[in-house]
Structure 1
Amino acid sequence: MGNSRNILLTNDDGIFAPGLAALRQSLDQLGNVQVVAPASEQSGVSHSITYLEPLIIDDVYREKELFGRAVGGSPADCVKAAMLELCDPKPDLVVSGINSGSNAGINVLYSGTVAAAIEGAFFGVTSIAVSLSTHSRPDYEATAAMATDLIGQLLAGNPSPGSLWNINFPKCQADWPLGVKVVPMGLERYREMLEKRTDPRGRTYYWSGLHPEQTPPTELNSDVAALTEGFVTITPLNFNLTCTDEMQRISDIEWQLPPR
């Protein structure tokens, strides 16, 4: 494809995450990569933005060369800062990942990884989130190589400016992965849990989302089901949350305000 693209690479696991380092090296095949990522882990922050305090941004060096910029804020903060101030030239592709853990189904709504891609799409730039369903021995290098190849194929199809994509890889295991499926985002709710504990001083506290029990998905044509089967999933997303069915249903109501 040549090195004509200007790529912004970010994540929500933080600038020192192994998934980001692996993808940073692999994406060099597609263009000039600039890294702007959170200074610390920001998993689960969704599309939060820092408004009430300044953003501290530091250069991060590896082997005496600039690796990227560390932002003391959220993944969306990183993309906003990169687009408005930090990146020269401006990116024409945003890649967020590799996230440690899948971002499929309703987890898309909680994900800082996907939120960074959404922020890129806000700026009219093709944006892609990449996640890996992890276990004890994730292979980020192999995942990065496959992700880069899939991103190249996606770009060869000339996606619309501002298009938004979510790619998930299944857990690394024998015969991994089985293939690629283009599937919709699953809408089933994960089984939630809130674990109650007591600290040494007798105070009650809670941990949310510690290894929630998973049940086999009943939505057979979804990213969650395909991942469970061992396939890489590609899902085009849209950040327009308008419910067009309800819009149409209430469009003929003659709305009236009460008298003042």
Structure 2
Amino acid sequence: MRILLSNDDGYFAPGLAALADALHDLGDTTVVAPERDRSGASNSLTLDRPLALRQAANGFHFVNGTPTDCVHLAVTGMFDHLPDMVVSGINHGANMGDDTIYSGTVAAATEGFLLGVPAIAFSLASKSATDFTAAAKVAHDLVARFIRDPFREPVLLNVNIPDCSTGDIRGVRLTRLGKRHKAEPVIRGTTPRGETVYWIGPAGQAADAGEGTDFQAVKDGYVSVTPLRVDLTHNGQINAVAEWLEV
């Protein structure tokens, strides 16, 4: 089993180290991650400059680009074979609901999926978390399950893990993505030069966080597993748009 690991928090992130330690006994693992924190990079590719691939003292490879760059470079240029799996994380903070659109962690897994490789993104649902032990065990167990019983076609899974001890995790739930309210307003500031600048505001509170959502599962102490797809076609509006075009 050849496993490619990546993330969006950077190659130095403790969540990535915990993930690598957890999966090393499951196969041949290779880490290719951004050289710095690229949270919120989504699925962006760097097309305006070349990318550099370097290796840290711990053996991890890092790239001066986005999470998507890392997986794309590894799969299409670094390896002479497709990996059997792409695993991204463990992200420091949740990636649930609308957050998945912006998440670099999910984007790294998505790039593997788009290249025909099964992929899983793991996130620990707390920005203040310091212990990745439980999340690492969840990652190990789910990847081991995939190895024992793989899907028949490439799959993209988004996994969020509550911030608690292993013994306090109540189980695993299959979920759908919830939805948030719109984001909070931007935060205005002034530089020492007197220029007005803006910080992107925090994400809004959950609007759709009911039964069956990733928000509810994590709140209740369960690991949330959501299968994702990349087809953005709104099939429910095909007929309506067809009629509109005929007017």
Is 1:209 aligned to 2:201, yes or no? yes
For residue 157 of structure 2, what is the aligned residue in structure 1? 165
Residue type of the alignment partner of 2:169: P
Q: Find the aligned partners of 1:244 and 1:151 in 2 and give their Cα distance.
A: 32
Q: Find the aligned partners of 1:217 and 1:155 in 2 and give their Cα distance.
A: 33
Structure 1 gaps of 5+ residues are none
TM-score (norm 2): 0.91
Q: Find the aligned partners of 1:104 and 1:58 in 2 and give their Cα distance.
A: 31
Percent identical: 40
Is 1:117 aligned to 2:117, yes or no? no
For residue 86 of structure 1, what is the aligned residue in structure 2? 78
Q: Find the aligned partners of 1:251 and 1:205 in 2 and give their Cα distance.
A: 43
The structure in which a higher percent of residues are helix is 2
Deviation at 1:54, TM superposition (A): 0.5
For residue 37 of structure 2, what is the aligned residue in structure 1? 41
Query: 1:161-189, CA deviations, whole angstroms, 9 ceiling, x for partnerless residues?
Result: 32110000112369632221100111333
Select the structure of larger CA radius of gyration.
1
Residue type of the alignment partner of 2:50: P
Does 13-22 or 146-155 show the bigger shift? 146-155
Query: 1:131-157, CA deviations, whole angstroms, 9 ceiling, x for partnerless residues?
Result: 001243431133112211022224433
> Which residue of 117, 141, 163 corresponds with 1:149?
141
Does 82-91 or 103-112 show the bigger shift? 82-91
For residue 172 of structure 2, what is the aligned residue in structure 1? 180
Deviation at 1:253, TM superposition (A): 6.5
Q: The residue matched to 1:236 in structure 2 has which SS?
A: strand
RMSD: 2.2
Q: The residue matched to 2:168 in structure 1 has which SS?
A: coil
Structure 2 gaps of 5+ residues are none
> Which residue of 11, 18, 21 corresponds with 2:17?
21
Residue type of the alignment partner of 2:224: T
Deviation at 1:218, TM superposition (A): 4.4
Query: 1:75-117, CA deviations, whole angstroms, 9 ceiling, x for partnerless residues?
Result: 1111111011112443110000001111000000000111111
Q: Find the aligned partners of 2:245 and 2:44 in 1 and give their Cα distance.
A: 37
Is 1:59 aligned to 2:55, yes or no? yes
Residue type of the alignment partner of 1:33: T
Q: Find the aligned partners of 2:244 and 2:197 in 1 and give their Cα distance.
A: 48
For residue 102 of structure 1, what is the aligned residue in structure 2? 94
For residue 226 of structure 2, what is the aligned residue in structure 1? 235
- 2:92·2:129 contact (CA, 8 Å) conserved in 1? no
Q: The residue matched to 2:4 in structure 1 has which SS?
A: strand
For residue 120 of structure 2, what is the aligned residue in structure 1? 128
Q: Find the aligned partners of 2:91 and 2:177 in 1 and give their Cα distance.
A: 17
Q: How many residues of Structure 1 are paired with residues of Structure 2 in the alignment? A: 247
Q: The residue matched to 1:226 in structure 2 has which SS?
A: helix
Distance verdict in 2 for CA 1:55–1:151, change over 3 Å: same
